[in-house]
Structure 1
Amino acid sequence: MLVGVYLGGNLIEQIKSDEKASESLGEILGLLSAKFEISKIIYANGPGSFMGLKVAYLTLCTFCVARGLEFYGVDGFALNGAKPIRANKNMSFVLKNGAISLQRVEPYEFELPISLDGLELIADALPNYVIDAV
């Protein structure tokens, strides 16, 4: 998991965790809210792990509602140069010609943009699961 803090639209701090969102997101939110005045949350709303997206969405949405914060989604492909995104242990989501498919390829890591300028925010932040849960 990768979390960034932006001031004036520019990245000022990053937190990376190898733990699952369900294990670390609440703690990270607590630490950041004690250190910064948070006004907006933007998260990668997919594609990704069905459970990971669901946990992240519910946690972040609840946090935003409780604190009266703006909440947006962003396409995960915008955070890794449109390269493959891990779907599960063996498969990755691949974006080609505007369509997303599952393929057996190595995923790339997400990178936070230095600036939020040009990032297409999605006001309807619901997760984009791409595939149904099995």
Structure 2
Amino acid sequence: MRKKVDVLCITLSSPILIGIYEEERLIETISSDEKSSDILPLIFEEVLEKYDLKALFYVNGPGSFMAIKIAYIFLKSLSILKDIPLYARDAFYFNNNQPIKAIGKLFFVKMQDDIQTQKLETVPVASFKLPDLLEYKDFSKETAPLYKIAAV
């Protein structure tokens, strides 16, 4: 019998991080420097062969417009086709609330519950991390992307 797992996707920057969670505990990490559009179908082909999915989770922004869009369309389609619930959380949850690159010298910053852009002269080094425990209560059923700036 295959394990029933949850899958969390962080696709805003390189490397892409995919966490496999059993009973809310991280049991496997998949990392890739490939483009989301190229690698997500391949990763999920393997994940679907190995596991039964209970729920999908993803980082819905802010960040790369294209990365958010690709992840959302892919995961929303999978959610609908396989009847698997989809949940989302903003990116600041996964990088210790550090600024996130927007465009040029603009960065996304989170002030309490408000996400804004600010010009920063010094580029902060912030990486994303999969949590060891997947806390359902920290995620939302509102999964629309958080683009926060207009697409260019």
Report the TM-score, using the length of structure 1 for normalisation.
0.90
TM-superposed CA distance for 1:106, in Å, is 2.7
Whether contact under 8 Å (2:62, 2:108) holds in the other structure is yes
The more displaced of 96-105 and 31-40 is 96-105
C-alpha offsets along residues 29-69 of structure 1, whole Å, 9 cap, x if unaligned? 11111111111100000111111111110001101111110
CA distance in 2, matches of 1:88, 1:35: 38
TM-superposed CA distance for 1:14, in Å, is 0.6
Cross-structure match for 1:13: 28
Identity value in percent = 34
Counterpart residue identity of residue 26, structure 2: L
Cross-structure match for 1:22: 37
TM-superposed CA distance for 1:91, in Å, is 4.1
Q: Which runs of 5+ in 2 are unaligned?
A: 1-15
Whether contact under 8 Å (1:93, 1:102) holds in the other structure is yes
- Give the alignment partner of residue 97 of structure 2, picking from 82, 97, 102: 82
Counterpart residue identity of residue 81, structure 2: A
Q: Residues 91-106 of structure 1 correspond to what in structure 2 (within 5 A)?
A: 91-99=106-114, 100-104=116-120, 105-106=123-124
The more displaced of 2-11 and 105-114 is 105-114
Aligned residues: 134
Q: Residues 121-132 of structure 1 correspond to what in structure 2 (within 5 A)?
A: 121-132=139-150
Counterpart residue identity of residue 19, structure 1: E
TM-superposed CA distance for 1:86, in Å, is 2.8
C-alpha offsets along residues 55-104 of structure 1, whole Å, 9 cap, x if unaligned? 11000110111111010111111111111223346543222344321433
CA distance in 2, matches of 1:107, 1:81: 11
Q: Give the number of the structure whose alpha-carbon radius of gyration is greater.
A: 2
Q: Residues 59-74 of structure 1 correspond to what in structure 2 (within 5 A)?
A: 59-74=74-89
Q: CA RMSD in A?
A: 1.7
Whether contact under 8 Å (2:95, 2:128) holds in the other structure is yes
Whether contact under 8 Å (2:106, 2:117) holds in the other structure is no
CA distance in 1, matches of 2:43, 2:103: 24
TM-superposed CA distance for 1:130, in Å, is 0.9
CA distance in 2, matches of 1:118, 1:59: 21
- Whichever structure has more strand as a proportion of its residues is 2
Q: Are residue 36 (structure 1) and residue 51 (structure 2) matched? A: yes
CA distance in 1, matches of 2:28, 2:145: 25
